Structure 1
Amino acid sequence: MKKFSMFACLSATLLLMGACGSGGSDQTAEGTDTVVATGTDPGDTLTVVGEQPSDSPTGFRAGQRAVAVINAASGSSVTGQAVFTQTGDNKVQMVLNIDGAPQGEHAVHLHQKGDCSAADASSAGPHWNPTKQPHGNREGDGAHHMGDLPNFAVGADGRGRVEVEIEGWTVGGNDTTTSVVDHAIIIHAKADDYKTQPSGDAGGRIGCGVITLQAVQGAQ
């Protein structure tokens, strides 16, 4: 009788373990992302549904992008586009392409307000300067605005290009003092002298675009 009781207990335990094991793989913990796999081969797609963790404590993602479409201001013929890509922790690459600008050197700055509604782009406000620094040369050793950038050249064909990587910027994220999103990029009529306060005597605003965050690929 004792042998039979031990056998019955052992059988019940094994059945219970089997039942637990068979259902566990189909469940996901409450509050976690749902993972849907379309196959088991290395080349198959794995899709994560739900909010995915960012690559940094500040909330931005590596590879995240923002774009500004630049339109004419102050009666100019300037058009163009600026693309901002997060390349690392507090590091952003900006690629700017301009067409229809007068030949010569021009200043480009990020301005406080993402608003290009005024004909002269004055609606974009002053330079983006959350740290309250004097205007200056980002490529020098002195203080400068967060929105200060190097001058760029426009050729006889009216085209100009800037490609720079800026330390201290982010694309989106939790820190509004570093994120370029929702600010304006302004093309000026003249070059920045990097000395005159508060904007380098760069002349009128001949191009303006609002920097808008692009959807992160794969996020839902």
Structure 2
Amino acid sequence: MRTALASFGLLALAACSSTPPPPPPAAPAPVSTAQQATAVLASASGSRVSGKLTLAPMGDGVHISGEVGGLTPNGQFGFHVHEKGDCSAVDATSAGAHFNPTDSAHGRAGTASHHAGDMDNIASDAGGVAKVNAHLRGVTLGGGAGNDIAGRAVIVHAAPDDYHTQPTGNAGARLACGVIKVVQ
């Protein structure tokens, strides 16, 4: 009986000290399934702002390039991806709020807290044209993941984003809106 109890005690002690099984491997990060998309920006809110952007997966996000014209010369303008791919309202409010799948506070891209759709302001030249060369980190293009920007809208705002006023950066009216459409 004593031997049986001692054996049982050793087994119980061994069971308590065994290491737990390793956790399952982390799910792979979502990746872009599209190769390229465009956003044709049409004027909103009575402006004359328009343009065309090309979007392509690159590194840790999506690269956005193109031109926006009809802006006030030598100005700064808020520039964001918004949650809905709907530019039907005259003032583009149909595009909803900034794209924010992680429910973060608004801020400057590249800082600890910002919306997934927050980007730096674009700047116009003396002719009222802004050359866009932006990289949006942490998002994908196509594939339907929570951070996918395909089918959402790009908005150009009337004022520069101050990067801290919640929830929009005090960027003002929406001057142009374009839906991100996958082309490849």
| Alignment TM-score, normalising by the size of structure 2 | 0.79
Identity %: 41
RMSD between superposed Cα atoms in Å: 1.7
Map 1:1-220 onto structure 2 (within 5 A): 58=30, 60-61=32-33, 64-88=35-59, 90-103=60-73, 104-139=75-110, 141-175=111-145, 177-215=146-184
Partner of 1:12: none
Instruction: Between the two structures, name the one with larger relative contact order (CA 8 Å, sep ≥ 6).
Output: 2
Distance across 2 between alignment mates of 1:144 and 1:180:
16
Q: Is the Cα–Cα contact under 8 Å of residues 155 and 178 in structure 2 kept in the other structure?
A: yes
Letter in 2 for 1:182: G
The CA deviation at 1:59 is 5.5
SS at match of 2:163: coil
SS at match of 1:163: strand
Distance across 2 between alignment mates of 1:106 and 1:57:
32
Aligned length: 156
The CA deviation at 1:57 is 7.3
| Alignment TM-score, normalising by the size of structure 1 | 0.67
Distance across 2 between alignment mates of 1:64 and 1:202:
30
SS at match of 1:211: strand
Q: Is the Cα–Cα contact under 8 Å of residues 31 and 140 in structure 2 kept in the other structure?
A: no
Q: Deviations over 1:8-60 (max 9, x none)?
A: xxxxxxxxxxxxxxxxxxxxxxxxxxxxxxxxxxxxxxxxxxxxxxxx97453
The CA deviation at 1:162 is 1.8
SS at match of 1:86: strand
Distance across 2 between alignment mates of 1:84 and 1:174:
16
For the pair shown, the structure with the greater C-alpha radius of gyration is 1
Partner of 2:11: none
Q: Is the Cα–Cα contact under 8 Å of residues 59 and 174 in structure 1 kept in the other structure?
A: no
